[in-house]
Structure 1
Amino acid sequence: MKKTRKSWIAIMSALLIASTALGACSNSNNGNNKPEASPSGSSGESTPSSNNASASPAGFQLGSQPLKFSMYGNYDWLTLDPWADDVPTKWIQDNLKVTIEPVQSGGAAQQKFSTMLATDDLTDVLLLDRGPDVEKLRQAGKLIPLDDYYNKYPNFKKWMGDETINMLRSSDGHIYQMPNWYTTSSNGNAGYLINRKVYKELGSPKLETFDDLYAYLQKVKATYPDMVPLETDVEAQGVQILASGFGEGYSPNWPGQNRAVPVDGKFVSIFTDPVFNETMKYASKLFREKLMTQDSLTEKKEQVFEKLTNGKVAVFASYSVLENQINAANTVMRKNDPDSGYEVIWPVHKEGVSKDKVFPNNYNKLGWNVNVITTAAKDPEAIFAFMDWLTGPEGMSTLYFGPKGKYWNEMDANDYPVLNDTWFNTPQEDKDKDKLGRWAWVGNTTYLDTMKMANNAKMKPEQVQWPDTQQSAVTWKTSQDLTAFVNLMPAGDTEAGIAKTAVDEIFKKYYAQALFAKSDEEVDNILKKAQDEAMSQGYQKLLDYETEAWQNNLKQMAGK
């Protein structure tokens, strides 16, 4: 699920206070994941203080003439901010002569999108998910191919690389998409969080294997009867995090999203998978012995946060153990008692499974969603040139730190803005008035992440924000690249799509039953029933579709 822009900006603002930089995620502590900076002047880019910022001397020169285009975000939750209503985009309008006209979904995105397509009244640019809707536009002949532009302008090609760009190719061999929040670096916030005070009071025992975890949860239950030994988040999602420790390289995505497991070049049933079977038996044991929250399948997110905020959780397994509310709770707890608060531990694993091959986190290089330029655009190359500038160091720095001259005056050798005294001496609430970061719809995660890590490396340890310390120490080091497994979702009106809907419901039903099972034998019987029911609902169609899509991804990544 995509994050809203407003929640993303809230996260960014918090990061700016302590880490002097913004970003999604990275496993680099020194910025070495960043592509080597171009020699001065070789990229064809000028500094943001210039009125002639450009991606290529041979291409469209930003600022040479006015550029105005419309943009629609195809999401119910999304409201595109007014253009030139913040410091960065006002500067862009005044200096680069670019104006964007936002068109809103009104909370009925799919209906509006269908109407726009049916009436041939498309905006110049669309922001939407990769997949069926993009292909629908392509097949209708409504999209501009971008192949030549990718080769002509420097930033997308430099920061994404050919392998990622190849993943954007449609079946006709052309590229129509510009990704948002793409990355070449590890990220993720999944894993295990422990209550530091409880852990210390219980003697700081070894917590490496599932046997260690079981013994620890028993101690918690005996010593703290009012505490939840293991909290697994809403819908028992933390159980899927457990699965990553029962097999080397095993992703929580297999049960959590794909409902299938890749084995020897093809996807096979999750219900017959030995790793998933062992995971459910372990989770069921914890559940019936009340070592796991008894509300896993019914509680709301607010209830989870309340328990964590009140220090009533000993261990928390989740896809996101570093959310804002948890960060805030950790800050308050440590302020009141330095021994309290939370700490991310290295992922727990089964005896015999290498700890260095346990990956509760994953990332994909294509990021979140994509921008496409429609045939309604009068000057598609100019639009691409602007988007390419936005995703480069100058664009990202202008959006997130404001135009050159106020909070920064120069860039270092890595093309990172050198923040000045004004930045550090200006209260955050005053910086918030500049409304930084609102129009990053071609966000470059790699740049922002490596910039954040590079700036953190220059700080004293106590100045680095807690989530950053946890990411660099654990969560980004336990993330694997799953780019080859993107775009595996079939269209809902196809045989595979209909099967996917049915299998999702079957999974949820038998997942709950297995959690409530009274014995290992009962878990086996429940998963056997799930397998039979899924196959009767066309499960093999889904498995075949996911296999073919995965293999096609591998070919695209290889440029075939």
Structure 2
Amino acid sequence: MKTKKAFKMSLILILVTIVFLTGCSKKNNNVEPTASAVPSPTASASEPVATSFQLGSEPLNFSFYGNYDWWVTDEWGNDPTTKWIQENFKITVKPVQSGGTAQQKLNTMIVSNELPNVIMSEGADFEKLRAAGQLLPLDDYLDKYPNLMKYAGDKTLNLLRSEDGKLYGFPNWYTSSPNGNSGYLVNKKIYKELGAPKLETFTDLESYLKLVKEKYPDVIPFEADISAQGIFLFAAGKEEGYSTRYIDEKAVPRGDQLTSLFLDPTFNATIKEASKLFRQKLITQDTFTQKSDQVYEKIKNGRVAVFASGDAVNSNIKDGNNLLSEKDPDAGYMAIWPIHEDAVSKDKVFTNSYSTTGWNLVSITKGTENPEAIFAYLDWMTGAEGQATTSFGPKGRYWDELTAEGAPILNEKWNTTPQTEKDKEIMGKFNWAGNTTLTDVTKASIQAKLPEDKRDWSTTQQIDVIFKTSQDMTVFNNFKLAADSEAGIANAAVKAIFEEYVAKAVYAKNDAEVDAILKEANDAAMAQGYEAMLKAKTEAWQANIKKASGQ
């Protein structure tokens, strides 16, 4: 759920900290590798024209800022990948950190007119920068540097254009293939010891959690991760085709209009399901207040029976799984098909969503020296060689050649180096122009060639289950509401109302109280301009539908 604010943050979010996670996804984030159509690299497609900037021809220095509370950009040149880039392309990047307060940091930089050269952002913050004239259009570079046009294509780039028709952001983790990180995991050892009962419907889930509570009093039956994000996956199993993106946007499509989330029957059923389990103490009781490190501690100690999250296979969860399985081959976690109602077809349950336009945008700010050189670097990064280098290290380290499809052919050193050692090289963390389809095809190709005990756990869960439960929600993205507009102000207010009232509803004593609280939430949202927000998002949604159809 690359996305994914509550989800995307986990999308979706730390999604780029290792090579095998692709936004929100985020995050997003679901491919059948054989279904991906990745153009084969050709000399004419991969080599810049003579008048373009040649990487390495002169030094290139720029600052980079990731506009997220949780984002930390590591020091440049301290890992094998960026050291190689620094030595061969003469590129040096100065990290600018959010310090855990991204919104405040961005506002301070805008007011002081001290914006970094490159900013990774999305949504209202991106639009605020664009509307203020702080971002440079990238259109003039598209024909000179072919990779972005080649892999993203006109349709995706058109969806990313702003109202003036110009492109101000380089997409990150754009794709033509399903992807994501959201899903359900079960503790394999506990599941096996309890007889591996059927775990498909909400009735099955409740029975299983009660059994866990009875047999394993020190274990959390259902861990919903930080901000209770795991409970929102219930929505996908309550109605066929229902996307958690609706919860992200606080807007549900009914007919040709976006309607109130708080009054939506499926969302109502979702919260009632969560509240029922919470009242029985089957769900983490501090799920709305716990921190991510607390979740990780429970995971790595095997104290979770079922885990649901918008970022279920991130690096911390993978590390926890690996620690358990190293001690006991039967221990660890595995992804299961999403839980659903009896009347809902399992093949129409999508806990993940993906957008061909990707997770977020990387923009070059006004006044930056040599912006074309930065674009040239991003375009190289999003191509086959760049993706191989940023995801698997420089050529000659773990790979020596590329396949015709652009996937690196990994060498013996890759096969013999322990995954824990490779993880220390933070490969993938500096990939700011993620090409999800190309990366996922590479991952699948690599996994298929490895013995089971050497396969990456996260990638295995994605290929086996998670990527198969993702749907294309491209037209439900990029609702660029200016932060100071009526709709933008309402959007921020509604998010705050959502956080307050949903927690109250989950804590409710019965279903009637859930109904009353959600009605109160809707009334509070309407008083803050919810109707204007829904109207603006409906217009943006319908405009995206037209763009996607070529109108």
- TM-score, normalising length: structure 1: 0.85
Q: Which amino acid aligns with 2:63?
A: M
Listed as ranges, the matches of 1:4-403 within 5 Å are 11-12=18-19, 27-28=30-31, 30=33, 32-39=35-42, 41-45=43-47, 55-57=48-50, 59-63=52-56, 65-66=57-58, 68-73=60-65, 75=67, 87-92=80-85, 94-96=87-89, 98-100=90-92, 102=94, 104=96, 107=99, 125-255=117-247, 257-377=248-368, 379-403=370-394
Change over 3 Å in CA distance of 1:7–1:348 after alignment to 2: closer
Listed as ranges, the matches of 1:505-544 within 5 Å are 505-544=496-535
CA offset digits 1:186-221 (Å, max 9, x no partner) = 222222222223222332221111122222223333
Q: Which amino acid aligns with 2:18?
A: I
Q: CA deviation at 1:472?
A: 1.0
Distance 1:11 1:546 in 2: 33
CA offset digits 1:379-438 (Å, max 9, x no partner) = 444432332122211222233444434443322222222222344455778868977555
Residue pair 2:28, 2:352 contacting (<8 A) in 1 also: no
Change over 3 Å in CA distance of 1:88–1:518 after alignment to 2: closer
Residue pair 2:66, 2:73 contacting (<8 A) in 1 also: no
Change over 3 Å in CA distance of 1:271–1:470 after alignment to 2: same
Q: CA deviation at 1:247?
A: 0.7
Distance 2:316 2:420 in 1: 20
Listed as ranges, the matches of 1:373-452 within 5 Å are 373-377=364-368, 379-425=370-416, 437=428, 439-452=430-443
Local SS of the residue matching 1:244: helix
Residue pair 2:251, 2:261 contacting (<8 A) in 1 also: yes
Distance 1:368 1:522 in 2: 36
Q: Which has the larger radius of gyration?
A: 1
Distance 2:211 2:485 in 1: 51
Q: CA deviation at 1:271?
A: 1.6
RMSD (Å), alpha carbons: 3.3
Distance 2:366 2:507 in 1: 54
Q: CA deviation at 1:353?
A: 0.7
Change over 3 Å in CA distance of 1:135–1:61 after alignment to 2: same
CA offset digits 1:483-503 (Å, max 9, x no partner) = 222233633322223322332
Query: 2:450 aligns to what?
Result: 459
Q: CA deviation at 1:509?
A: 3.0
Residue pair 1:67, 1:382 contacting (<8 A) in 2 also: no
Distance 2:298 2:114 in 1: 50
Q: CA deviation at 1:91?
A: 4.4
Local SS of the residue matching 1:521: helix
**More displaced stretch, 69-78 vs 513-522:** 69-78
**Uncovered stretches (5+) of structure 1, i.e. residues with no partner:** 17-22, 46-54
Distance 2:419 2:212 in 1: 40
Local SS of the residue matching 2:536: helix
Q: Which amino acid aligns with 1:327?
A: K
Q: CA deviation at 1:457?
A: 1.1
Distance 1:433 1:330 in 2: 17
Change over 3 Å in CA distance of 1:558–1:7 after alignment to 2: closer
Local SS of the residue matching 2:222: strand
Aligned residues: 537
Mapped pair 1:551 → 2:551: no
Change over 3 Å in CA distance of 1:469–1:99 after alignment to 2: closer
Residue pair 2:183, 2:310 contacting (<8 A) in 1 also: yes
Query: 1:500 aligns to what?
Result: 491
Residue pair 2:353, 2:470 contacting (<8 A) in 1 also: yes
Identity of aligned residues (%): 48
Query: 1:475 aligns to what?
Result: 466
Distance 1:512 1:429 in 2: 38
Local SS of the residue matching 2:142: helix
Residue pair 2:128, 2:483 contacting (<8 A) in 1 also: no
Residue pair 1:25, 1:185 contacting (<8 A) in 2 also: no
**Uncovered stretches (5+) of structure 2, i.e. residues with no partner:** none
Change over 3 Å in CA distance of 1:504–1:483 after alignment to 2: same
CA offset digits 1:53-92 (Å, max 9, x no partner) = xx234544445x4253533425476665565565545544
- TM-score, normalising length: structure 2: 0.86
Residue pair 1:25, 1:476 contacting (<8 A) in 2 also: no
Q: Which amino acid aligns with 1:535?
A: M
Residue pair 1:25, 1:449 contacting (<8 A) in 2 also: no
Change over 3 Å in CA distance of 1:536–1:324 after alignment to 2: same
Q: CA deviation at 1:269?
A: 0.8
Local SS of the residue matching 1:476: helix
Distance 1:197 1:505 in 2: 39
Residue pair 1:180, 1:369 contacting (<8 A) in 2 also: yes
Q: CA deviation at 1:461?
A: 2.4
